[in-house]
């Protein structure tokens, strides 16, 4: 009996085009990816149904957790200028090296008196350094108020834009801790700010 022979085809495919596409995409993602910086203060943000992402630049983040407040601001040039202004205010002479080192610290929570000591540490030691948070009390002239105030001025001078504020609060934190930060902002007539949340499905 004659059989119809099915021609056996090779299972090997030409992978060249696929490889090209894969590496093109890979390059794109590597270039657009922003390395996630490790937060010195671990904050477990609450979830909400908001879908608007946090703006990337020109934003200061106030982290609230474990009763401490940490301050973070984007942009190395802004950080450098900010430290200069704060040094003038508190009569601390920061050296140019200290300013350069400070410019790469994204978030910190030390009182200004301890700041020089903190800057002098290397990156590994900074992670384990017990940061007490930025001091805040009910007086008009507390440190957090000054950081916020100077940051706004520096941003306006350098970027000619209004600085935006985002509050990153821990979900388990009690309300008064958050209220304290809002009061500081409202005293400077900042009535619009963002609350950082993670995404929740309804």
Q: Which helix (H) or strand (E) holds 65?
A: strand 59-65
Instruction: Tell whether residue 54 is a contact of other proteins (CB under 8 A).
Output: yes
Instruction: Tell whether residue 180 is a contact of other proteins (CB under 8 A).
Output: no
Instruction: Tell whether residue 157 is a contact of other proteins (CB under 8 A).
Output: no
Of residues 171, 167, 175, the one with CA closest to residue 196: 167
What CA–CA distance (Å, rounded) separates 144 from 197?
A: 22
Cβ proximity to other proteins, 92 vs 166, nearer residue = 166
Considering only 6, 7, 32, 93, the residue that binds other proteins (CB under 8 A) is: 32
Pairing outcome for strands 164-169 and 59-65: parallel
Buried b / exposed e along 56-88 (16+ C-beta atoms within 10 A): eebbbbbbbbeebbbbbbbbeebbbbbbbbbbe
Helix (H, G, I), strand (E, B) or coil at 23: helix
Instruction: Tell whether residue 33 is a contact of other proteins (CB under 8 A).
Output: yes
Nearest distance in Å: CB 175, other proteins: 4
Instruction: Tell whether residue 140 is a contact of other proteins (CB under 8 A).
Output: no
Instruction: Tell whether residue 136 is a contact of other proteins (CB under 8 A).
Output: no
Question: Quick one: angle between helices 76-90 and 143-159, nearest 10?
Answer: 130
Q: Judge contact between 76 and 181, C-beta under 8 A.
A: no
Q: What sign does the dihedral 180-182-185-187 (CA atoms) show?
A: negative
Considering only 37, 114, 157, 186, the residue that binds other proteins (CB under 8 A) is: 186
Considering only 25, 104, 120, 121, the residue that binds other proteins (CB under 8 A) is: 25
Instruction: Tell whether residue 7 is a contact of other proteins (CB under 8 A).
Output: no
Task: Identify which range of 43-51, 99-107, 139-147, 148-156 contacts other proteins by CB under 8 A.
Answer: 43-51
Task: Identify which range of 47-55, 71-79, 123-131, 155-163 contacts other proteins by CB under 8 A.
Answer: 47-55
In the shown chain, the binding pattern of residues 63 to 102 toward other proteins, with x for contact by CB under 8 A and - for none, equals -x--------------------------------------
Of residues 87, 85, 184, the one with CA closest to residue 135: 184
Residues that bind other proteins (CB under 8 A): 10-13, 15-16, 18-19, 22-23, 25-26, 29-30, 32-34, 36, 45-46, 48-55, 64, 166, 168-179, 182, 186-187, 189, 191-200, 202
């Amino acid at each position: 009996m004659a059989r119809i022979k099915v021609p056996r085809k090779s299972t090997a495919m030409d992978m060249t085009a696929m490889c090209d596409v894969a590496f093109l995409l890979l390059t794109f993602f590597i270039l657009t990816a922003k390395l996630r910086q490790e937060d010195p203060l671990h904050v477990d943000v609450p979830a909400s149904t908001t879908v608007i992402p946090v703006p990337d630049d020109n934003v200061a983040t106030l982290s609230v957790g474990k009763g401490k407040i940490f301050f973070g601001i984007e942009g190395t040039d802004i950080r450098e200028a900010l430290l200069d202004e704060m040094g003038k205010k508190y009569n601390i002479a920061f050296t140019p090296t200290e300013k350069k080192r400070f410019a790469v610290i994204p978030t910190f929570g030390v009182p200004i008196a301890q700041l020089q000591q903190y800057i002098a540490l290397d990156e590994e030691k900074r992670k384990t350094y017990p940061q007490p948070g930025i001091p805040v009390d009910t007086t008009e002239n507390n440190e957090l108020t000054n950081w916020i105030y100077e940051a706004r001025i520096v941003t306006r001078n350098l970027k000619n834009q209004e600085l935006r504020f985002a509050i990153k609060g821990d979900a388990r934190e009690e309300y008064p801790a958050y209220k304290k930060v809002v009061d500081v902002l409202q005293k400077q007539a900042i009535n619009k700010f963002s609350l950082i949340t993670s995404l929740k499905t309804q």
